[in-house]
Amino acid sequence: MKKLLLVFFILAAFCAGWYGALTYTKRFLTGENTEILQDPATLRETYAQQAAAGDAAAAYKLGEMYLSTQGGEADAQSAVSYFRLAAGKGYLPAQKELARFYQEGLAGLRPSQESSLFWCMHAALQGDADCQNQIKEAFAKNTQLYDAVLAAFTASLQARIGNGAAALELGRLYEEGFLSPDLEEAAHWYSVAAEQKIPQGQARLGLLYAEGKGVAKDEEKARALLAPAAEAGDPQAQLYWGKQAYTQSEQDGGPDYTEAFKWFANAAAQGNVEAQYLTGVMYMQGQGTDKSVKKALQFFSRAAEAGYADAQYVVGQSYYKGLGIRQNMSEARKWLGKAAQNGNQAAQELLQQLPQP
């Protein structure tokens, strides 16, 4: 156990230079500080300006004010945002506060062992004894959780010194919810990866702009990011452009099935299950390619095996009707059942029509 625990502390020693290189503004309110004479509302504005300029201590103090009605209305969401800003700049009190909030589910946050341990690791790196003890306890209780959080922590440290691949991974962890869902944080880290021309970062950030998640919706920025990502082979970006071509309005010339098929097929070849399903649809209908029921079923089957509900429904329906494949009620029931379990309403209805075994 002691040997395994060394993993964290060796990493801490290796990465400590990052924290040592940061300059913190230690601006605590005391009776001797003239800021105490400001009224709370003005003080909020002052801290906001200082936080915007990169002052971690001011961001933390502003977060504290947002937790109360001091200087204005309480706003737990804003409080957490400012704590994250300060914590991300290496401000120890903010890191400890976030660890506590996630542990206890405070300030509107859902309890998250992962997020609590993540911020505790940052605090422990700066020598906080309480968090160091918590890390030891976490390792003893659940080594799998410890290892997963340690990987996220490592990515965080690397991302903050400009490692694009680590930034991409950190963004994914925030988007997918391992570190508690936070699309604004995800967008921030994807932007770091995108600036380094990493296709996956461009694609994920572009999709957030296209959907207005974590950032203001902006189709122009979305396209500017997704175009190079698709050309570089990112399947999510290719799927996006395939859908754009497939649903192109009549005003813009109508659907471009040849272009859509190209992008769907490229994404499908890389294992994107939605693209596999849509490639099957185009083969089945002869859109952008020669019609082939056999090839359509091959793509539907790949997506169905991967758990894509619409593809499971089509495969089940094909077995039920004997469409391009020998009729088989047992297989039909199996695939329709899977689709129904995954929420496909049409599969649920068709199941009721099947003869009982």
Interatomic CA distance for residues 167 and 235, integer angstroms: 19
Question: How many C-beta atoms surround the C-beta of residue 259 within 10 A?
Answer: 16
How confident is the model at residue 38, as a pLDDT?
Answer: 72
pLDDT in tens, 181-219: 889 999 999 999 999 999 999 999 999 999 999 999 999
Interatomic CA distance for residues 184 and 93, integer angstroms: 22
DSSP 344: -
Tokens of 12: 């801490």
Parse the chain into domains and list their residue ranges. Answer: 178-229
* pTM metric for this prediction: 0.81
CA angle 289, 292, 298 (to 5 degrees): 110
DSSP 356: P
Query: Would you say residue 141 has pLDDT above 80?
Result: yes
E strand segments, the chain: none
3 pLDDT band (50/70/90 cuts)? very low
- Say which residues have a Cβ less than 8 Å from residue 347's Cβ, sequence separation at least 6: 309, 312, 313, 316, 336, 337, 339, 340
CA dihedral for 253, 255, 261, 263, sign (positive or negative): positive
